[in-house]
Structure 1
Amino acid sequence: MSAPETLKAVQDMADQAPVTDVTETFLLWRELLEELKEKVAARFELHRDPSTEELQSFGSADGPRGSLAGFTGPEVDWMIHSWVGDPAGGFVNLHLTVWLGPHIRVPHLGLALLCWPGGWFYIDSVPRTSLVADSDYFDRYYAPAEERWLSVREEYEDLAWFTSRTGFIRGSLSPTAYCYSMPRDEQHVQLVHRLMHEHVDRWLRWVDEAEPVEEEERSTLAELDVNIRRNIVERDPANIMAVRFFGERTTEKLVRALWGGDRVLPRPS
């Protein structure tokens, strides 16, 4: 039997579902990302970038709204902690992403949660090199996660692999990415809770154990990192939901904030 799959676009999933209040799940998702953010903040020196202060709260109190905070620091190029949506109307999108500085080559951290109104989650280690060309990098950061990744795919029959209708986004996923639609029941919510905590704990160990990148290689790595981040953010087909909620102008500001286009604080060297 083939594994279930979701092929519909985000906006189609939201449009074709009945209006459903997802506030309960949204509060659980927000609490989970706050826990993970605290783990990251305990390890890194972080400073809120002034360019995102006006985005601390936006939208309307009784409709679509959101919050976005961008951080940087000596070891972190750009970290985003955000959510947008309308919980009572059945759609929310939450992010915690950490893009490391060029002093190490550890993959970046990518986490996202969604209600549309069904559940959806994304967990990935964003590579900073070609995994096919650099097999040692694959063996260090991706091969050890394969057994767990396969066991989840085999054990949880109600997880439906999310296949983006945009080839660029499909190409941005690593071989051990989690990208699933799911029921919003306790079993699956708890699964996501475990997987995200496991992933962040493993990622923090990678950071602590990483060897430094040679000084002369860091500028090239930093340029690669920002290009990857900007392309993924700008090409995300889910941006259409922000346009619906907040309009083109605010969405452009949110997208620039996600990749650091308006940042004030300097990037780590």
Structure 2
Amino acid sequence: MGEKILKSVIELVEANPSVNNRAVFERLWGITEKMIAKIHARFELSLDPCCASFQDYKTLSQTSGEGSLKAYSGKEIDWLIHSYIGSPESSFTNMHITISLGPQYLVPNFGFALGTIPDLFLYMDFIPRADLLADIDYTDKYYEPVNGEYLSLQADKRFKPFISRDLYTRIAMTPTAVGYCADPDPEVIDIVEKIAHERLDMWLKWVDEAEKTPLEQRPQLMERDQTIRRNICLRDPANNLAERLFGRETAEQMVATLWGGNRTLPRPDGN
């Protein structure tokens, strides 16, 4: 197993603030665009008007920062984010696809992030909607299928485990979460793209085959999802870099939009 990364995101960027990662960013963003195309092909989604002012971050600041934020909802999807933020010529980028399902399914939610800090950063996880310690069937069904992949990446010295300094962020990651830094060479990015599509395809299949959640459980499940989504967004270690690029007020509005605090579309009823 390679060395562990214990520094914060902002410390890593500050140590190497002038790396031109434009080419790497374009390749990584291309991965997310292929993934989001699969998602749009599977789900009927509407763009929430709350993200209209965040379609192009270059309009928000005179700095080198750029990005975009698109938030969607639909009958089967409570909240979906496809976004990026950063300054590709100055080391830092951060891009996301996060999906919270509607309450009619108990399938885990989908978490995915790529970035440059300035090395390649990757995060992938299935965010549980049940107690993994108590519900062993749920654990076996949704996490055993990626256990071998997790162990393989742990043994690959090209991937350096990223250990978040934030306690809640670590709690929010399952034992099969992908959270690494790596040199952004083409072979490594090919591996990242392969795993990303395998995880997304697996997740889409789970949704297609899912049994419906009992009606009485759905309201509590929906509120639990939103609470966890809000907590994860508020504790994201990259938020302080967003403040540097765009100012605190704008960054706070971005974060609120990311978790759904500014949404205008109704939440799905799960029927």
| 1:161 corresponds to | 161
TM-superposed CA distance for 1:3, in Å, is: 3.9
| 2:185 corresponds to | 185
Structure 2 distance, partners of 1:236, 1:152, is 23
TM-score, scaled relative to structure 2:
0.96
3-state DSSP class of the match of 1:201?
helix
TM-superposed CA distance for 1:18, in Å, is: 4.8
- Judged with a 3 Å threshold, the aligned counterparts in structure 2 of structure 1 residues 43 and 70 are, in CA distance, closer, same or farther, namely same
| 2:252 corresponds to | 252
| 1:45 corresponds to | 44
Structure 1 distance, partners of 2:89, 2:106, is 41
3-state DSSP class of the match of 2:134?
coil
TM-score, scaled relative to structure 1:
0.97
| 1:197 corresponds to | 197
Structure 2 distance, partners of 1:113, 1:239, is 15
Alignment identity in percent? Answer: 40
3-state DSSP class of the match of 1:109?
strand
TM-superposed CA distance for 1:123, in Å, is: 0.6
- Paired amino acid for 2:132: L
After superposition, where does 1:23-38 map in structure 2 within 5 Å? 23-38=22-37
- 1:62-105 Cα distance to aligned partner (Å, 9 max, x none): 71111000000000000000000101111110001111000000
TM-superposed CA distance for 1:61, in Å, is: 7.8
TM-superposed CA distance for 1:171, in Å, is: 0.5
Over the residues paired in the alignment, what is the CA RMSD in angstroms? 1.1
- Paired amino acid for 1:259: W
| 1:132 corresponds to | 133
TM-superposed CA distance for 1:152, in Å, is: 2.3
3-state DSSP class of the match of 1:6?
coil
| 2:64 corresponds to | 63
Structure 2 distance, partners of 1:264, 1:62, is 29
8 Å contact from structure 2 (residues 17, 90) kept in 1: no
- Paired amino acid for 2:194: R
8 Å contact from structure 1 (residues 97, 111) kept in 2: yes
| 2:113 corresponds to | 112
- 1:204-256 Cα distance to aligned partner (Å, 9 max, x none): 00001110011111001001000000001011121000001000010011000
3-state DSSP class of the match of 1:31?
helix
- Paired amino acid for 2:190: Q
3-state DSSP class of the match of 1:5?
coil
8 Å contact from structure 1 (residues 4, 158) kept in 2: no
Structure 2 distance, partners of 1:237, 1:175, is 20
8 Å contact from structure 2 (residues 2, 158) kept in 1: no
| 2:175 corresponds to | 175
3-state DSSP class of the match of 2:264?
coil
| 1:22 corresponds to | 21
Structure 2 distance, partners of 1:187, 1:62, is 33
TM-superposed CA distance for 1:121, in Å, is: 0.3
In structure 2, stretches of 5+ residues that fail to align are none
TM-superposed CA distance for 1:111, in Å, is: 0.6
3-state DSSP class of the match of 2:67?
strand
- Judged with a 3 Å threshold, the aligned counterparts in structure 2 of structure 1 residues 48 and 18 are, in CA distance, closer, same or farther, namely closer
Structure 1 distance, partners of 2:235, 2:16, is 25
8 Å contact from structure 2 (residues 63, 245) kept in 1: no
- Paired amino acid for 2:65: P
- Paired amino acid for 1:23: R
In structure 1, stretches of 5+ residues that fail to align are none
3-state DSSP class of the match of 1:71?
strand
- Paired amino acid for 1:158: R
Structure 2 distance, partners of 1:18, 1:34, is 27
TM-superposed CA distance for 1:175, in Å, is: 1.1
